[in-house]
Amino acid sequence: MEWGLEGNDDENRKHHAPYVLNASLSRKTWRAWWACWMPSWKDLKRCCENDGWELYKDTDHYYYRKFMPDGTIKRTKVSKGTGEIKGHLWKTIPKKQLHVTQEYFNSKI
């Protein structure tokens, strides 16, 4: 089975879903690929912008907030650095700050 990645830009290739030439992805193969994918800080910023978050502070980091209909406020801080978000940190961001699933996050980047 040969792997390939969609997209032309080498920098963005790792952020696109994989496809397999001449075969379909098995559930096990998809999960293995998905487990090693980590979003970048740029992906997190793009998700916030596409999901209607307000940039309320732009200093050494980007600070976003989103007012929810029930009166709660979601907040997150996005690094201006490049590269991927580390695994231990990424586990907490969607759950505790964004309050979204991985699938929802992917739909916004």
Q: What is the C-alpha to C-alpha distance for residues 29 and 38, in angstroms, rounded to an integer?
A: 17
Backbone Cα Rg of the chain: 16
* pLDDT at residue number 31: 61
Which residues are bridge partners to 54 per DSSP?
65
Domain annotation for the chain: domains and CATH numbers: 2-36 (no CATH), 41-108 (3.30.920.30)
Q: What is the C-alpha to C-alpha distance for residues 30 and 19, in angstroms, rounded to an integer?
A: 9
Task: Per-residue pLDDT tens, the chain, 109 aa: give them.
Answer: 344 444 444 444 444 454 444 456 676 765 665 556 789 999 999 999 999 999 999 999 999 999 999 999 999 999 999 899 998 899 999 999 999 999 999 999 9
